[in-house]
């Protein structure tokens, strides 16, 4: 699978809940590495509610400090553009300051992927495109992308960007299958972008659902010899866009079990059966 970075794994590990228990992340980081998850996804806003703005990046920075050489073996991705109380700011001044702050917290000189976290409707796409060009030209960012952008918003940005927009990060799961229908995945395949799916387990809801979808997930999990989470992750990965799900679990054991998604084998019947169970109706 071609991706935006040679070290980007087929499953990523996300740090949006990294600060919830206040413990050092090394055990979870080690579980991710052992599972072959080399794409580490974070953002400057992660951890803000529990430990302060930039807290997740700072913890990852400590991990990189304490694991000399690890930086050379992972693909490091972060996001900026959300400001508490604003809420969105993609102005040039803010994003360039945000990038410098992320570099300091992560204790690195270069971020492999920098994404605009959410659309700021008060920033023109040509201004944002020029800012992204500056980031890459500076050598401090390897590649750029967007998160939570509609295809039309991405097209407007792409029209002005000299630097290729290489990734898009939508919410995508059996709980939230809208990218199948709103053009997000089709646009990514047309443009050759990598899709990074956030909340691929529906924020944990898929593991605890008790309806027709739960029955279908459980039956397939039993047939394949994996847990329900692995089935749900693999369902996302089976799409021809080559979607990379971002696993947000902070349990080392669940992180390791997520790697079983690679073992799942799909028939069209099984894939569509889960989709029909998720949307609650038969497809026409």
Give φ, ψ of 54 to 5 degrees: 85, 5
Q: What is the DSSP string of 27-49?
A: HHHHHHHHTT--EEE--TTTTHH
Position 252 pLDDT exceeds 80: yes
Per the prediction, the chain carries an average pLDDT of: 94
Among 146, 4, 143, which residue's Cα sits nearest to residue 82?
146
Specify the range with the lowest mean pLDDT, choosing from 18-32, 105-119, 171-185.
Answer: 18-32
pLDDT of residue 128: 98
Reply yes or no on whether the pLDDT at 22 is more than 80.
Answer: no
- 141, pLDDT greater than 90: yes
DSSP assignment letter at 23: -
What pLDDT does residue 3 have?
80
* pLDDT the model gives residue 18: 87
The predicted model gives 162-173 an average pLDDT of 98
Torsion, Cα 83 77 178 162, to 10 degrees, reads 90
Q: Which two tokens stand for residue 221?
A: 């999990």
Mean pLDDT across 130-143:
98
- For the record, the structure tokens of 284 come out as 């026409």
Does 2 have pLDDT greater than 70? no
Q: How many CA atoms lie within 13 A of 237 on its CB side?
A: 25
Q: In which band, very low, low, confident or very high, does the pLDDT at 25 lie, cut at 50, 70 and 90?
A: confident
How far apart, in whole angstroms, are the C-alpha atoms of residue 88 and residue 116? 10
Strands 75-80, 111-116: pairing is parallel
pLDDT digits (tens, 9 = 90+) for 39-48: 999 999 999 9
Q: Does the pLDDT at position 240 exceed 80? A: yes
Q: What does the block give as tokens for 174?
A: 């059996």
3-state secondary structure of 201: coil
Active site residue 272: no
pLDDT value of position 24: 66
Q: Provide the pLDDT confidence category of residue 223 given band limits of 50, 70 and 90.
A: very high
- Between the alpha carbon of residue 276 and those of residues 1, 227, 270, 271, 283, the distances in Å are 28, 20, 10, 9, 7
Q: What percent of the chain has pLDDT over 70?
A: 96
| 3-state secondary structure at position 165 | strand
Which H helix or E strand runs over 52?
none
Q: What is the pLDDT of residue 117?
A: 98
Q: Are strands 165-169 and 141-147 parallel, antiparallel or unpaired?
A: parallel
109 confidence band (pLDDT: 50, 70, 90): very high
Q: Does position 156 have pLDDT exceeding 80, yes or no?
A: yes
pLDDT for 211 equals 85
Annotated catalytic residue within 46, 88, 114, 149:
46
182-208 average pLDDT score: 90
Cα 176 from Cα 196, distance rounded (Å): 14
């Amino acid at each position: 699978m071609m991706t935006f970075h040679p070290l980007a794994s087929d499953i990523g590990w996300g740090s949006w809940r990294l600060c919830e228990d206040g413990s050092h992340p090394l055990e979870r980081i080690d579980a991710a590495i052992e599972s072959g998850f080399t794409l580490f996804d974070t953002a400057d806003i992660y951890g803000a509610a529990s430990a302060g703005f930039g807290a997740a990046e700072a913890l990852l920075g400590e991990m990189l400090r304490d694991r000399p050489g690890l930086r050379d073996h992972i693909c490091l991705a972060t996001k900026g553009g959300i400001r508490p109380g604003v809420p969105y700011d993609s102005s040039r001044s803010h994003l360039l300051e945000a990038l410098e702050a992320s570099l300091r917290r992560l204790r690195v000189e270069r971020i492999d992927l920098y994404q605009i976290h959410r659309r700021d409707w008060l920033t023109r796409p040509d201004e944002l495109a020029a800012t992204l060009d500056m980031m890459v030209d500076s050598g401090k960012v390897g590649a750029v992308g967007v998160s939570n952008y509609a295809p039309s918003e991405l097209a407007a940005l792409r029209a002005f960007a000299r630097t290729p927009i290489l990734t898009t990060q939508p919410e995508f799961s059996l709980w939230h299958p809208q990218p199948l229908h709103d053009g997000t995945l089709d646009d990514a395949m047309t443009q050759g972008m990598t899709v990074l799916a956030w909340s691929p387990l529906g924020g944990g809801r898929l593991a605890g659902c008790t309806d027709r979808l739960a029955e279908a997930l459980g039956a397939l999990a039993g047939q394949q010899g994996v847990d329900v989470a692995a089935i749900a992750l693999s369902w996302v990965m089976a799409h021809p866009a080559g979607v990379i799900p971002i696993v947000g679990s902070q349990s080392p054991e669940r992180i390791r079990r997520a790697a079983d998604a690679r073992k799942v084998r799909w028939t069209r019947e099984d894939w569509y059966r889960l989709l029909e169970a998720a949307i609650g109706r038969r497809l026409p």
